[in-house]
Amino acid sequence: MRILVIDIGGTHVKVLATGHRKLVEIPSGPKMTPAKMVAAVRVATSSWKYDAISIGYPGAVVHGRPFTEPHNLGSGWVRFNFRKAFARPVKIINDAAMQALGSYRGGRMLFLGLGTGLGSAMIVENVLEPLELAHLPYQKGRSYEGYVGQAGLERLGKEKWRHHGKEVVKQLKAALQADYVVLGGGNARLLKRLPPGTRPGNNANAFQGGYRLWTKRYSGLNHDRFVH
């Protein structure tokens, strides 16, 4: 099966497909609606052949559909019919979950994405479970995201941010009984020394995750209710 993978971000929409090596980047931003995204992707990939589509969405996804509107893009994503627009089967998951799936190497893995916010997902024996840990309380009336997200970095400075980043990883790894943690997101590189049992992720893993969504091995997201 040839898969088109779309990773939607606040500044760019990144696109790659089975059999292609060159990544396509499409500018996004606050005026990017789902209809504009689909039109831009179809133009950029007009010569590509693909059978199905995986979409990494920058927000909560429930039963394969966007549950909330994204913060940094235009509106209309929750009710948009992606399958009809692309005329292909489509699977949609949270963008952190898609990168987590591409980073997985067996066992119990916790993925944490350190970027504008705090993305999170857990995979246990090939079954993916997207998480929403960002807004759980952490310290002094602030959430985990309030300390290790971009706003926390700007408020605390790098040294204090690094301290809290390592502490958050330690706490969440223990609470979820993870065998190991993968750290993705643009700010993960700022942690000079990773906590024990932690390895760096790679944004390119999102595309591997998009391909894996359509394989039988990763049974947690291969039920028909995730295809739209």
Q: Count H helices, E strands: the chain?
A: 7, 14
Pair of tokens at residue 206 = 């999102």
CA 37 to each of CA 13, 15, 177, 195: distance values in angstroms, whole numbers, following the listed order: 8, 11, 38, 38
Full DSSP string of 117-167 = SEEEEEEETTEEEEE--TTSEEETTEEHHHHHSHHHHHHH-HHHHHHHHHH
- Containing H/E element for 195? none
**Average pLDDT score, the chain:** 92
Rounded to the nearest 5 degrees, what angle is found at the Cα of 205, between the Cα atoms of 60 and 113?
A: 45
pLDDT band at 203 (very low <50, low <70, confident <90, very high): confident
- Provide mean pLDDT across the span 11-24: 95
pLDDT band at 10 (very low <50, low <70, confident <90, very high): confident
Per-residue pLDDT of 72-122, as tens digits, reads 899 999 999 999 999 999 999 999 999 999 999 999 999 999 988 899 999
